[in-house]
Amino acid sequence: MVEFRMPSLGADMEAGTLVQWLVKPGDWVKRGDVVAIVDTQKGAIEIETFQPGQIEKILVDLNSKVPVGTPLALIRAEGEAKPAAAAPQPPPPPTAAPPPPVAAPAPPIAPAAAAFAISPAARKLAAERGIDLSTIGGSGPGGAITYADVERRGGVPAAPAAPTAPSEKKKPPTLDLAAMRTAIAAAMARSKREIPHYYLEHQIDVTACEHWLAEKNASLPPDSRLLIGALAIKAVALAVRRYPAFNGFYRDNKFEPSPAVHIGVAIAIRGGGLTAPALHDADQLPLDELMARMRDLIQRTRAGRIRGSELSDPTITVSSLGERGVEALYGIIYPPQVAIIGLGKVVARPWVIDGAIGPRSIVTMTLSGDHRVTDGHAGALFLAEIGKLMQEPDKL
Amino acid sequence: MSDIDIRKVLQEELNNIAPEADLASVDPAADLREAIDIDSMDFLNFITAIHHRLGVDIPETDYPKLVTLDGAVGYIERKLAPR
């Protein structure tokens, strides 16, 4: 039997509130399945299990706030004997309660509802209207079912229609921005206190990227088009494989490089919030896949649906200000990471190429590095490598 | 599809992206990126939603024509008009 515990979703998290179970005793779960939703300072986070098996028992009631590490449920691994079948073992101590009745033939997979990518609001609406999720075509990233999809599907309201309050549709994501600000302040204050930052900047000619993107996107429908941000993330992910001292965690007075490359993507939350969940294994993903995952990640983050692992394991962060705003951004490292890359907006500049001046598209890329791990020399090589990779977008 | 219907669809989709924005008070000639703070990913989602709902495919080179609400309504009207 394995205990499923309240995970730590960042150095600053001490406790979380269990707000929803997506499984019940008897359900089977796979590694990576979302089993519960936990409310934290960073919003409602979907918590995955890393233990496949059958849910044996739920240990924590809804809406209870418990410290990190508290067992939330018991999961019986596949093949592990059910307690009821363990008759030949020594008699249980007299105080032990009789084993709970085992649920009737369990479905072989998690409930269908959990298998669909769907926002909580859309799920609620579908439940209210009695709509089978498998009958709805999702138009969101990765086929995710959005609120609008459920609305369009219509369906007969299950009960004498209590019309859905129009205000509900306009309700912003259930993110507590004040709590998020507190979490950002705590992490950034710790970073400035503990991490001796150094800063470098490099101007990168992204004209080749723009031409390549224009040509590629011309033949693609909007839901498959790429943004230059996806190219930059891939370039960073490939560059850290060559410069692993920028990818990993500084813990207990030493640097632990990470073999996996999980790029934290800084995402602005409407109304004033910021979070940087991980785009897992970004170095392994082809660009179209990377773009689809980035779209999905941004959409879920803004809807308040990040997964636990995405919050806890970014190995380096990329922060991009997009097409508006300013030309350069100097990031503050998110501990326990050791580097953050900043991207300003792309600007047209006169540039010298082969002795002649011509207009080029230029982006200023910065690196904030941790002097406990690297110095400016290594940082310069790392930034230059990213710039070089962006000259050949077809190889990203 | 009338100008009014198109405008309604676009406002709905913009509201999905920026739920807190009061689109009725946004100047229809203002740059949406600044007026309701949408970034390149939001804009791509907007274009994708128009494609799904109205069947209008908008090439990247036409994006600048859709950065205001009036511009977007006019563009889609022309695209939907029988030739």
Q: Which 3 state secondary structure label does DSSP give A46?
A: strand
- Tokens 């150095």 correspond to A11
CA dist A360 and A351 (Å) reads: 6
Instruction: Report whether pLDDT(A355) > 70.
Output: yes
Rounded average pLDDT over A16-35: 89
**Confidence class of residue A157 from pLDDT cuts 50, 70 and 90?**
very low
Kindly determine whether residue A222 and residue B16, on different chains, have CB atoms separated by under 8 Å: no
Mean pLDDT of chain A: 82
Nearest by CB to B18, from A229, A268, A270: name it.
A270
Kindly determine whether residue B16 and residue A148, on different chains, have CB atoms separated by under 8 Å: yes
> What sign results for the dihedral spanned by CA atoms B8, B14, B17, B20?
negative
Predicted local distance difference test score (pLDDT) of residue A110: 32
Size of interface A-B (CB pairs under 8 A): 58
Burial of residue A323, with CB atoms counted within 10 A of its CB: 0-12 exposed, 13-18 middle, 19 or more buried: middle
Higher pLDDT, A116 or A254: A254
**Is residue A57 a contact partner of residue A31, using CB atoms and an 8 Å limit?**
no
Q: CA of A217: which chain B residue's CA is closest?
A: B60
Q: CA separation (Å) from B21 to A9, B24, B43, B79?
A: 31, 9, 15, 27
Predicted local distance difference test score (pLDDT) of residue A103: 42
Predicted local distance difference test score (pLDDT) of residue A235: 98
Predicted local distance difference test score (pLDDT) of residue B74: 93
CA dist B19 and B12 (Å) reads: 9
**Which of A5-19, A276-290, B29-43 bottoms out in mean pLDDT, i.e. has the lowest?**
A5-19
What residues of chain A have any CB closer than 8 angstroms to a CB in chain B? Answer: 139, 146-148, 170-173, 214, 217-218, 221-223, 225, 227, 229, 268, 270-271, 294-295, 298-299, 322-324
CA dist A124 and A303 (Å) reads: 14
Tens of pLDDT, residue by residue over A55-88, are 999 988 888 888 888 999 999 988 777 655 444 4
Sort out which chain B residues have CB atoms less than 8 A from A233's CB and list them: none
Rounded average pLDDT over A381-394: 97
**Confidence class of residue A126 from pLDDT cuts 50, 70 and 90?**
low
Instruction: Report whether pLDDT(A394) > 80.
Output: yes
Higher pLDDT, A352 or A121: A352
Predicted local distance difference test score (pLDDT) of residue A204: 97
Tens of pLDDT, residue by residue over B25-58, are 889 999 998 888 888 999 999 999 999 999 998 9
Sort out which chain A residues have CB atoms less than 8 A from B51's CB and list them: 221-223
> pTM for this one?
0.74
Given CB atoms, is B79 within the 8 Å cutoff of chain A?
Answer: no
CA dist A125 and A112 (Å) reads: 16
**Is residue B9 a contact partner of residue B52, using CB atoms and an 8 Å limit?**
no
Mutate: best of A270, A291, A323, A343, partner B, most B CBs <10 A: A270
Nearest by CB to A170, from B19, B44, B47: name it.
B19
Judged by phi (left if over 0) then psi (alpha if -120 to 50, else beta), residue A271 lies in left
DSSP, res A177: H
Nearest by CB to B60, from A218, A270, A294: name it.
A218
**Confidence class of residue A396 from pLDDT cuts 50, 70 and 90?**
very high
Predicted local distance difference test score (pLDDT) of residue A358: 96
Mutate: best of A147, A175, A212, A324, partner B, most B CBs <10 A: A324
ipTM above 0.95, yes or no: no
**Confidence class of residue A348 from pLDDT cuts 50, 70 and 90?**
very high
User: Hey, which residues of A are catalytic here?
Assistant: 371
Kindly determine whether residue A268 and residue B39, on different chains, have CB atoms separated by under 8 Å: yes
CA dist A154 and A135 (Å) reads: 11
Nearest-5° Cα angle at A247, A257 to A378:
100
Given CB atoms, is B67 within the 8 Å cutoff of chain A?
Answer: no
Higher pLDDT, B24 or A166: B24
**Confidence class of residue A360 from pLDDT cuts 50, 70 and 90?**
very high
Going by C-alpha positions, the residue among A53, A93, A43 that lies closest to residue A73 is A53
Percentage of chain A exceeding pLDDT 70: 76
Phi and psi for A73 in degrees, rounded to 5?
-160, 160
CA dist A331 and A200 (Å) reads: 11
Provide the pairing of β-strand A15-21 with A65-67. antiparallel
Phi and psi for A57 in degrees, rounded to 5?
-160, 140
**Is residue A336 a contact partner of residue A11, using CB atoms and an 8 Å limit?**
yes
Predicted local distance difference test score (pLDDT) of residue A63: 85
